[in-house]
Amino acid sequence: MQGHQDFALSERGRGQARRLAGWLSAQGIGWDHAYTSPLVRARETAEIVCELTGHAAPEPEGDLSELAAGTLEGLDRGQMAERFPLFLQKRITEIGDFAEYGGESYDAVQIRARRLLERLETKHRAAQSRLLLVGHGGFNFQLLKLIICLPVPQICIVRMSNCGATLVHMRERRGTFMGELVWHVPVDLMGSASGEGSSAVFR
């Protein structure tokens, strides 16, 4: 459970970031502004992607940080089972809230996601800018729900894998500005580091 602990990328992670960069380039996907969580593992991913695709360095954005998991952070599944067995026994309707472990509550994360979305809309909506956001599975999942679902469900299953890519188009729909999920691609489908061997279906 990484949470706010600041681990660097492994060599495998750097390789995945290079593979993502190659795939984005091969698909002709670009952006006007890039933002990254300040945590090292996300920041390094964003820097690799921006450098290899020829884009400007990403700006740090604190609200893209991973969910804070309190005393669960740094523990693997076995350690959690030993020290906090009730956590692993929670029903799916009870997960996503780490307040009892000294981390973020579900409601606090929703407030953070809404704050980030409103700030980005204020700054970039009029110019119809394309944005690259590099964050973490837990928070990215909460942000995605907020963008594409009304009302926002507590429970929704979307696999957020390392270096996966998700494209969301934001547009007005019957008087409401919201997102449309266009595609969601795991790194395993992205071909080689140059993008060779991947499909062009996502252009």
The pLDDT tens digits of the residues spanning 116-125 come to 999 999 999 9
Does the pTM of the predicted model rise above 0.85? yes
Cα 152 to Cα 157: distance, rounded to the nearest angstrom: 13
Is it the case that residue 201 has pLDDT exceeding 60? no
Q: Where does the pLDDT of residue 43 fall: very low under 50, low under 70, confident under 90, or very high at 90 and above?
A: very high
Cα 152 to Cα 112: distance, rounded to the nearest angstrom: 14
Buried b (16+ CB within 10 A) or exposed e, 72-108: bbebeeeebeeebeebeeeeeeeebbbeebebbebee
Report the SS3 class of residue 131: strand
Q: Where does the pLDDT of residue 149 fall: very low under 50, low under 70, confident under 90, or very high at 90 and above?
A: very high
Tally the residues of the chain. 203
In terms of pLDDT, which residue wins out, 87 or 199?
87
Is it the case that residue 63 has pLDDT exceeding 80? yes
List domains and CATH numbers for the chain: 11-189 (3.40.50.1240)
> What pLDDT, on the 0 to 100 scale, is given for residue 9?
95
Q: Where does the pLDDT of residue 199 fall: very low under 50, low under 70, confident under 90, or very high at 90 and above?
A: low
Is it the case that residue 160 has pLDDT exceeding 60? yes
Is it the case that residue 195 has pLDDT exceeding 80? no
Give the bridge partners for 178, in sequence order: 171
Cα 20 to Cα 53: distance, rounded to the nearest angstrom: 10
- Across the chain, mean pLDDT equals 93
Give the residue-averaged pLDDT of 131-140.
97
Burial class (CB in 10 A: 0-12, 13-18, 19+), 139: buried
